[in-house]
Amino acid sequence: MSTPQTQLPLDALPTRSAPALDLLTGVKVLDLTTSVAGPYAGQLLADMGATVVKVEKPKGGDDARAWGPPFLHGESLWFMSVNRGKQSVTLDFSVPEGREVLHRLVASCDVILLNLVGRAQKKLGVDADTLRALNPKLIHLSLSGFGIKGDRADLPCYDLIAEGYSGVMDLTGELESPAQKVGTPAADLLAGHDAAMAVIAALYRRQRDGVGCEIDVSMVESMSRFMAPRLMPYLGSGELSRRSGGRDSVIAIYQVFETADDPMTLGLGNDAIWRRFWDTVGRPDMAEKPEYGSNALRRASRAELVEVIAGVLREKPRQAWLDMFAKARVPAGPIQRLDEVAADKALQAAGFIYRTDGPDGPIPHVGLGIRFDGRTEGTEMPPPKLGAHTDAILVDWLGCQPADIEQLRAQRVI
């Protein structure tokens, strides 16, 4: 008797096949990055229509290919989350023969993405001066922990390290608990987003002025810029914010509350919302009290207000409150687990969470979430198998003959 197959969450996702976006059609990108931040930048560019070729070391490829379990179809799901839409070429450019091939690829591309520190770039011959001498219109992007220059430029960095430097870990969680990192690789994703945005800006300038660009993105600076709404008040007032869990330190009522069953979020960000909230819960008298007439006054009385609101919200189940608040336009919501996010009908209907058919079976996708003329990204290409497109790229981009490719393979360059 055969063992029944376990149903995966992706089996419940809607299938989707859409035309790929064409905003960056014709733009050729070499993605030499590994892990999360750089590959995410490449995926964003691929989502918007660029041709992205992922250059990987022949043995093992991108470090993230080994990050698991969990795996799907033998591939790391972490790797798959930031590498769709790309082609994979294996190439050892640490040796002269491989470096010569890479330089030829650079001569015919528009953008190169690297997450090597400056010292390593120079050693491997992939620094901006070297590559822009081969292709003056090249957009050369470095994404590193601390930037290409400065006292910390050579230090290794991961998302965890960047989050610690930025201050976000000191502001995440409860004050009496240890500092916590954000529940997703926030510094990686923010820096990757910055990298993609910077590339698009540089492409626009190149179209206008005909010049290339050297771009330097720092994970620590991207993550620290994310902290501007917290850092600016300190810089301007000297008031030091510390972590306060789900409570905001500026808006008086902006936190998690318990209900009769499940917790919910509630944000009363202005006077009109304040009044609508109390009307909705049947306590209009609270909205009329002058001692609570502004956010500053409410902040001064936060503890007592939180106690009153908490008592009110415990009287009904969460969904009853959410229905009432939605009708009254009071900002509120559930605290969803990942399985609930995956099953969110609105996100599925928007084409944001879906599945497509891959060569080894269905593949889940977390989409771009941006629409252009009503369209979001298509998924013609699943995350690539290691080196699956090596021969095709060498032929199409460089005009290599079969004998040339076999020689490179015999030299273990590809």
pLDDT in tens, 168-202: 999 998 888 888 899 999 999 999 999 999 999 99
In this structure, of 7-11, 255-259, 350-354, the range with the lowest mean pLDDT score is 7-11
Q: What are phi and psi of 93, to 5 degrees?
A: -90, 15
- Return d(Cα 55, Cα 30) in angstroms, integer: 7
Instruction: Give the rounded percent of residues in the chain with a pLDDT score beyond 70.
Output: 98
With bands split at pLDDT 50, 70 and 90, how would you rate the model's confidence at 2? very low
Do 261 and 401 have their domain in common?
A: no
Through-space distance between the first and last CA atoms of the chain, rounded to whole angstroms? 44
Q: What pLDDT does 4 receive? A: 46
Kindly tell me the sign of the dihedral angle through the C-alpha atoms of 136, 138, 139, 141. negative
Pairing mode, if any, of strands 213-218 and 332-334?
A: unpaired
Q: What pLDDT does 3 receive? A: 41
- In a domain, residue 347? The reply is no
Query: Smallest Cα–Cα separation from 113: which of 200, 195, 193, 50?
Result: 195
- In a domain, residue 240? The reply is no
Do 356 and 336 have their domain in common?
A: no
Q: What is the number of helices (H) and of strands (E) in the chain? A: 18, 13
Question: Where among 340, 360, 384 does a domain terminate?
Answer: 340
Whether omega before 263 lies within 30 degrees of 0, making that bond cis, reads no
CATH number of 279's domain: 3.30.1540.10
- pLDDT (mean) for 74-97: 97
Structure tokens at 35: 């892990």
Q: What SS3 class is residue 197?
A: helix
- pLDDT (mean) for 312-327: 97
Task: Say which amino acid occupies 225.
Answer: R
Q: What pLDDT does 8 receive? A: 86
* 401 has a pLDDT exceeding 80: yes
Residue 238 buriedness (CB in 10 A; 0-12 / 13-18 / 19+): exposed
Do 289 and 396 have their domain in common?
A: no
Instruction: Please write the tens of the pLDDT for every residue from 101-143.
Output: 999 999 999 999 999 999 999 999 999 999 999 999 999 999 9
With bands split at pLDDT 50, 70 and 90, how would you rate the model's confidence at 1? very low
Do 88 and 218 have their domain in common?
A: yes
Question: Where among 286, 307, 340 does a domain terminate?
Answer: 340
Q: In sequence order, which residues have a C-beta less than 8 Å from that of residue 235 and are 6 or more positions away?
A: none
Structure tokens at 48: 């918007």
- Return d(Cα 118, Cα 192) in angstroms, integer: 18
With bands split at pLDDT 50, 70 and 90, how would you rate the model's confidence at 6? low
Residue located via tokens 């500026």: 250
Q: What pLDDT does 5 receive? A: 55
- pLDDT (mean) for 20-29: 96
Do 147 and 43 have their domain in common?
A: yes
Do 258 and 383 have their domain in common?
A: no
Cβ-contact 78, 64 below 8 angstroms: yes
CATH number of 57's domain: 3.40.50.10540
- Known catalytic residues are 188
Do 327 and 369 have their domain in common?
A: no
Please give the mean pLDDT across all residues of the chain.
94
Do 333 and 356 have their domain in common?
A: no
- pLDDT (mean) for 333-355: 92
Cβ-contact 16, 355 below 8 angstroms: yes
| 315 DSSP assignment | T
Kindly tell me the sign of the dihedral angle through the C-alpha atoms of 198, 203, 206, 208. negative
- pLDDT (mean) for 336-363: 92
- Return d(Cα 119, Cα 101) in angstroms, integer: 21
Residue located via tokens 């240890």: 178
- In a domain, residue 145? The reply is yes
Total number of domains in the chain: 2
Do 187 and 96 have their domain in common?
A: yes
Instruction: Please write the tens of the pLDDT for every residue from 276-295.
Output: 999 999 999 999 999 999 99
Q: In sequence order, which residues have a C-beta less than 8 Å from that of residue 270 and are 6 or more positions away?
A: 295
Cβ-contact 112, 131 below 8 angstroms: yes
Do 139 and 177 have their domain in common?
A: yes
- pLDDT (mean) for 143-150: 95
Task: Say which amino acid occupies 368.
Answer: L
- Return d(Cα 376, Cα 371) in angstroms, integer: 5
- In a domain, residue 242? The reply is no
Q: In sequence order, which residues have a C-beta less than 8 Å from that of residue 352 and are 6 or more positions away?
A: 366, 367, 369, 376
Do 169 and 85 have their domain in common?
A: yes
Cβ-contact 167, 227 below 8 angstroms: yes
Instruction: Please write the tens of the pLDDT for every residue from 236-258.
Output: 999 898 887 767 678 999 999 99
Domain housing 356: 9-226+352-410
- In a domain, residue 238? The reply is no
Do 92 and 217 have their domain in common?
A: yes
* 7 has a pLDDT exceeding 90: no
